[in-house]
Chains A and B, each alone.
Chain A
Amino acid sequence: MTTLDINSGGSGADGRPYHETYKPASHFRSKDEEFDAVKIGMWLFLATEVLLFAGLFVGYAIFRMMHPEAFRNGSHYLDWKWGCLNTIVLLFSSWTIATAIGNAQRNEQKALRRNLLLTIACALLFVGIKFTFEYTPKWSGWFFKFDPALSHYEASGQTALGGMFEYVEGYGGKRPGSLFDYPFADNPYEPMWWSIYYCATGIHATHVLIGVGLIFWLYLRARKLHFGPGHYNAVEIVGLYWHIVDLIWIFLFPLLYLVH
């Protein structure tokens, strides 16, 4: 990446960069029309993302109403400091990708690549913090062992995931549903809280990882000078995606960590 030849990404016969020679797909009348279409498409997709998480928020609201004590107890096991740090990391990454769009518009290739890499780093940091300091300590006491014979629901007090995990020692972890170690709970419905916590943050973390893939794809294209004032559609719409990932976390963080 450091030895990038500034002319190597050219797509035209004269070696001009791709974004200067970019033409819209033949079924669009102009670049602007294509850009508009792409943006409407992405906004519609983001609407579907909001509705997907809305299901989880509705579940949260209903079970919180039904078992307020369980939710109060459950949320005490989360460390708001890690959540807060992750919020800052994600907010910062939203800023870096927004800046990257500006970089593309102003043809600042080096800054564009730097900001994309920074965004990826933040996303990985987010997932790293989540797994290392939040999921793993709560899960310890379980190890991976595939045994189809153990897969029956009736045996679920000791195994899970179709028998792929087996409980090995006395430590009670904080896991969703029947994986929850009941003696540790203050309230019989606390497993419900953990289920919602794991489903919501797990699906969100999956979105973060998809985002890493998308931004890395942008980075590879940026290295070939695909983006510039003449063409930055992909940077803009991946940016929109990244903002929704951030936005959803901004709702999850207070709901799970701060509201007691």
Chain B
Amino acid sequence: MTTLHGEIPGAHGSHGGHDHHDGSYLDRKGGMVSTIIDWATTIDHKKIGVMYLVAVLTMFFIGGIAAMLIRYELFQPVRIQTVGEMAGKATGTDLATLFGQKDMSVAQADNIYNRVMTLHGAVMVFMFIVPGIPASLGNFLLPLMLGAKDVAFPRLNLASWYVYVFGSIFGILAIVMGGVDTGWTFYTPYSSSHADPGHWRVVFMILAAFILGFSSIFTGLNFIVTVHKLRAPGLGWFDLPLFVWAMYSTSIIQVLATPVIGITLLLLVFERLFHVGIFDPALGGDPVLFQHFFWFYSHPVVYVMILPGMGIISECIAVHSRKQIFGYKAIAFSSLSIAAISFLVWGHHLFTSEGELAATIFSALTFLVAIPTAVKVFNWIGTLYKGSIQINTPMLYTLFFLFTFSIGGLTGLPLGALATDLHLHDSYFVVAHFHYVMMGGTVIAFLAGIHHWWPKMFGRMYNERWSMFACVLVFIGFNTTFFTQFFLGTRGMPRRYASYPDEFQTLHQISSIGAAILLIGFLVHLAVLVGSLFAGKKAPANPWGGLTFEWEADSPPTTHNFHHEPIAKHGPYAFDDVVPPHCDPKDYPLADPLPPGAKAH
């Protein structure tokens, strides 16, 4: 680590004599109790980001248990008693009554399976993947990347975390009360009239989704205002890191789509409690209207799930191949166009229930999304070309993302085309497709992001060797689990079924074994990351040689993020301009003692 100036730049804490003795945001100021109170009442976006990270990963764990139960059940065609017991433990009293029953009717098995499947879907969608990246990494990094001290509304930010926890408690309550078997989509009239009539748990689950919507709106609103008003001096719109562009586009969708699910779920609660009949055909209502309302939110929200992941990939690919990102503006605008198009395609979830003309139009609009998405993928590959690629965990995940997300994206085309959709509709092909997008896209990108920014967030390096090992496990496990399901789908296995003809068993078993490998991969990751908090090497401020603002802060950042207000002097990915040839890019940008024009905080 030698540089032209003979000093070690970016070294921890000392910014050319301007040492303000600001502690890191993780410093404890008192005993256990005061630390807990400090965190519970904090308005620091970094602490809130960490709190969100813990919360969403907890939900990921709960949803993951349900996923493992599903795969366990599907290992054999009619697997009964042990799953019944396990599910009973996972989902509460009603199912616990099934303990000890050796033989169970298919209807009972289906009942358990539907509840576990709904648990998996609802928890993963509403409590993990929608808030996942924006609320945790977004909260932590957005102000840092803008050179700001905090988000625009710090107290609203804290409120959104509490609203999230409150909403999740409602969801968990519904599960503990015996689970819900409506599926995470709550389709009427089943959810309004037939599912557990007279019982509160369905209402609780719907209210959980409603409350979580507020959390989502608060976060999105906060980010939009922050990007507009709190950029550092000299940081124009086209100097923003692409992660910020992705978060901005995500926030627009969150703010504009979530109110629609709000009114839909509210009407569904009214439907259950007062039988208002808006969605109930028996009272003159229209269940298809519910589906339109539901997907008018839920399709845009698919892009709330994937856009932040794309933002992470843009960051990782530029930093770890040390290259100016190819087609910066194209990537930025493609995020915005994905956000815009996302509002026009909801009808492709209702191909079988709408007229031919409408279905054709929605099919055509659906194909439009492929354009900005392909722009991104080709630009990422263009960035890799002739880059000096470093293979570490974030980069490995980034390359995996390109592979799995491309499969996920391309398998969307036969589902968006009317003729092939009629064959593949509600089959395992759909399950495999959206898992390749949601998990092969978002979760893999999330893991890339966690590893990329882990040193910044906690000031510790993780063990690269073990992380890469876990990464390979996740990749193998993921593809074994879900690639198999494409074959299941095309051969006619419908989704949402607890049992199946014997001919599907081999494929289901391969899929379940893949899920087990996936689980091991995640557990190794958890162990490595938690271990790094205690035994990890101290991280330098800029371990990867990134050029965006967050790398100018200490690792972990101080309470007020920066020692001085950062000033944009080069583009976010101007590696060619900032790093002289034949030098270690890790040493750049040089630690800057208060640049001209900067105000000390």
Contact = CB atoms under 8 A, between A and B. Distances in A.
B278 A160 contact: no
B197 A152 contact: yes
A151 B198 contact: yes
Interface string A155-169: 010001111000000
Given A59-B278, A192-B278, A195-B276, A48 B258 contact: yes
A49 B256 CA distance: 10
Q: How large is the interface on B (under 10, 10 to 19, 20 to 34, 35 or more residues)?
A: 35 or more
Contact of B275 (A52, A160, A163, A199): A160
Nearest to B192: A153
Contacts of A192: 277-278, 283-285
Question: Chain A: interface secondary structure?
Answer: helix
B267 interface: yes
A188 interface: yes
Nearest to A196: B278
Nearest to B199: A151
A53 B280 CA distance: 20
A56 B229 CA distance: 33
B255 A44 contact: yes
A36 B229 contact: yes
Contacts of A67: 284
B487 interface: no
Interface string B102-118: 00000000000000000
Interface in A53-88: 53-56, 58-59, 62-63, 66-67, 70
A177 B276 contact: yes
Contacts of A186: none
Do most interface residues of chain B lie in helix, strand or loop, or is the interface mixed? helix
B85 interface: no
A62 B229 CA distance: 40
Contacts of A70: 284
A41 B270 contact: no
- Which of B156, B222, B271, B274 has most A Cβ within 10 Å? B274
30 contacts: A27-B143, A27-B154, A28-B229, A37-B229, A37-B230, A40-B224, A40-B228, A47-B256, A51-B256, A52-B260, A55-B262, A59-B289, A63-B286, A153-B197, A153-B275, A160-B273, A162-B200, A177-B271, A177-B274, A177-B276, A177-B280, A179-B275, A191-B277, A191-B283, A192-B283, A195-B270, A195-B276, A195-B278, A199-B267, A199-B278
Interface of B: 143, 148-154, 156, 193, 197-198, 200, 217, 221-222, 224-225, 228-230, 255-256, 258-260, 262-264, 266-267, 270-271, 273-278, 280, 283-286, 289, 293, 560
Interface of A: 25-28, 33, 36-37, 40-41, 44-45, 47-49, 51-56, 58-59, 62-63, 66-67, 70, 148, 151-154, 156, 160-163, 176-179, 188-189, 191-192, 195-196, 198-199, 203
Sorted from nearest, which 5 A-B pairs have the closest CB atoms? A55-B263, A195-B276, A178-B275, A177-B276, A51-B259
